[in-house]
Structure 1
Amino acid sequence: MTLFIVEDDFELRKELITFLEKCGYDCKTSNDFTNIVKDALEAEPDLILLDINLPYFDGYHICREIRKVSDVPIIIVTSRNTDMDELMSMNLGADDFVTKPYNTQILLARINAILKRAEKVGDASDLKYNGLTVYTTKSKVSFADKSVDLTKNELRILWIFIKNQGNIVSRNDLMDELWQSDEFVDDNTLTVNVNRLRKKLEQIGAVNFIQTRRGQGYIL
């Protein structure tokens, strides 16, 4: 699989590429930070590793621009480690957030986990539930002749809910499915993703499909 690395620290980038290529990944990058969005998309990577502090445009801008046209998995890798940085990353559609300095083996595990989840959802057939149709390959959901696009995380959450329809899905189980371990995820991040999914379903008329069970989790 191909990874595209957006990192302006030459030595760090070189070390990261060497490590990931030894692990079997094909790594691509670019020094043209004025056209980094174009270069990243043209590389057609399976996943993007994206720093925040960059010349010309910061990682938030790059993530936002990529999300306008692509659902490629994005992991934010940065020395900025405040809760606000992590929340902004998730709100902009990033799939994960890793702070520097990081353990390369942990980073590798996070990359592997996200790629496996993307493959799992991407290979799934379209799902139907009570008038909803989820187009997994297009990352879209429709209801009553209306449709709306979903981010990768929103698609995964809805996919999990439908697969467990009629049963309560705990917040811990959701975080394990999405990010493997809640050790690295602020609880607010999950709330933001679920609320954003709710609003999108409401936009197409699917009101009150996701119900909160206080102290237990969610049920579809």
Structure 2
Amino acid sequence: MSLIFIVEDDLKIAQLLKAKLEQYSYEVKLAEDFRHISEEIVRADPHLILLDINLPYYDGYYWCRQVRKISNVPIIFISAREGEMDQVMAIENGGDDYITKPVRLELLVAKVRAQLRRAYGEYAAPSTYASDRSTDLDSLSQEQQQNGRIEVEGLVLWLNRNELHYKQQQIDITRNELLLLECLLNRYGEVVARDTLLETLWDDVQFVDDNTLTVNMTRLRKKMSELGLPDAIETIRGQGYKLKL
């Protein structure tokens, strides 16, 4: 049974979300000490976090950054803030998705289910690869696949570690960044359509603002730049993205 941890200081809303999720057989725990959210999350060890932005003491962005130091657990922001910049900040600070209040409960359940599938279920980051990949992919050694990594032109993505290595340098990446880069590496040198990348991250593509992909890609490019690869991800106007090292 998956455990959902809800960080929401409005008890009425928190109880409403809890009741709805429990209808679908999820175990739900509510945050109690808003001064020490990280400690509560560590103790609860949840499979997914629902996180409000307006909270006592520190806002949701702060707590999301703290969680990302210790975990890649899926985080869905839930907030009354409807502005585009708020949603951009949620993604920039490590969130995986964003739902505005008043919450449509069926949409909430669908997004929770999708994130859990991505992180732990049938759509979790694989360590084996489909047989219809390009010739470049076919050259990946069996040892690489068994070790849960993809290596192209010296760039090594460790699927089970959320790490990216290049020329004796190493950087941690988020789950979304890993999924995007895995998709680009698996189609190295090819143009990957935006829709394909959206589907890599989210099942319910109709609910996703296209700008969310842009923000995630910007974050990934920043990480690549830190490794000395500022121009590795090329935007192909009107089509998508291409990885070239």
Supply the distance in 2 between the matched residues of 1:198 and 1:54 (Cα, whole angstroms): 31
- 2:232 paired residue number: 209
- Of the structure 1 ranges 116-125 and 153-162, higher mean CA displacement relative to structure 2 is found in 116-125
The offset of 1:109, in angstroms, is: 0.8
Does the residue aligned with 2:191 lie in a helix, a strand or coil? coil
Say whether the 8 Å CA contact 2:5–2:48 is kept in structure 1: yes
- Of 156, 164, 167 in structure 2, the residue corresponding to residue 141 of structure 1 is 164
Say whether the 8 Å CA contact 1:83–1:186 is kept in structure 2: no
Supply the distance in 1 between the matched residues of 2:110 and 2:186 (Cα, whole angstroms): 25
- Of 113, 117, 127 in structure 1, the residue corresponding to residue 150 of structure 2 is 127
Does the residue aligned with 1:211 lie in a helix, a strand or coil? strand
Say whether the 8 Å CA contact 1:121–1:156 is kept in structure 2: no
- 1:151 paired residue number: 174
1:21-170 residue pairs with structure 2 within 5 A? 21-119=22-120, 120-124=123-127, 125-170=148-193
Supply the distance in 2 between the matched residues of 1:186 and 1:21 (Cα, whole angstroms): 28
- Of 200, 220, 225 in structure 2, the residue corresponding to residue 197 of structure 1 is 220
The offset of 1:126, in angstroms, is: 1.7
Does the residue aligned with 2:119 lie in a helix, a strand or coil? helix
The offset of 1:92, in angstroms, is: 0.3
Does the residue aligned with 1:49 lie in a helix, a strand or coil? strand
The amino acid of 2:232's aligned partner reads: F
TM-score between the two structures when normalised by the length of structure 2: 0.83
- 2:137 paired residue number: none
Alignment pair present for 1:175 and 2:221: no
- Of the structure 1 ranges 39-48 and 161-170, higher mean CA displacement relative to structure 2 is found in 161-170
Q: Are residues 179 and 123 of structure 1, via their aligned partners in 2, closer, same or farther at CA, if it must alter by over 3 Å?
A: closer
- 2:135 paired residue number: none
Give structure 2 stretches of 5+ with no counterpart: 128-147
Query: Which structure would you say has the larger Rg?
Result: 2
Say whether the 8 Å CA contact 1:144–1:205 is kept in structure 2: no
Supply the distance in 2 between the matched residues of 1:151 and 1:117 (Cα, whole angstroms): 13
The amino acid of 2:184's aligned partner reads: F
Does the residue aligned with 1:169 lie in a helix, a strand or coil? strand
Does the residue aligned with 2:95 lie in a helix, a strand or coil? coil
The offset of 1:186, in angstroms, is: 3.4
Does the residue aligned with 1:69 lie in a helix, a strand or coil? coil
Supply the distance in 1 between the matched residues of 2:11 and 2:195 (Cα, whole angstroms): 38
Identity %: 42
Give structure 1 stretches of 5+ with no counterpart: none
Does the residue aligned with 2:35 lie in a helix, a strand or coil? coil
Say whether the 8 Å CA contact 2:125–2:179 is kept in structure 1: no
The offset of 1:183, in angstroms, is: 4.0
Note the aligned Cα RMSD (angstroms).
1.7
Say whether the 8 Å CA contact 2:149–2:158 is kept in structure 1: yes
Say whether the 8 Å CA contact 2:114–2:204 is kept in structure 1: no
- 1:187 paired residue number: 210
The amino acid of 1:201's aligned partner reads: M
- 1:9 paired residue number: 10
The offset of 1:99, in angstroms, is: 0.6
Say whether the 8 Å CA contact 1:5–1:29 is kept in structure 2: yes
How many residues were matched structurally? Answer: 220
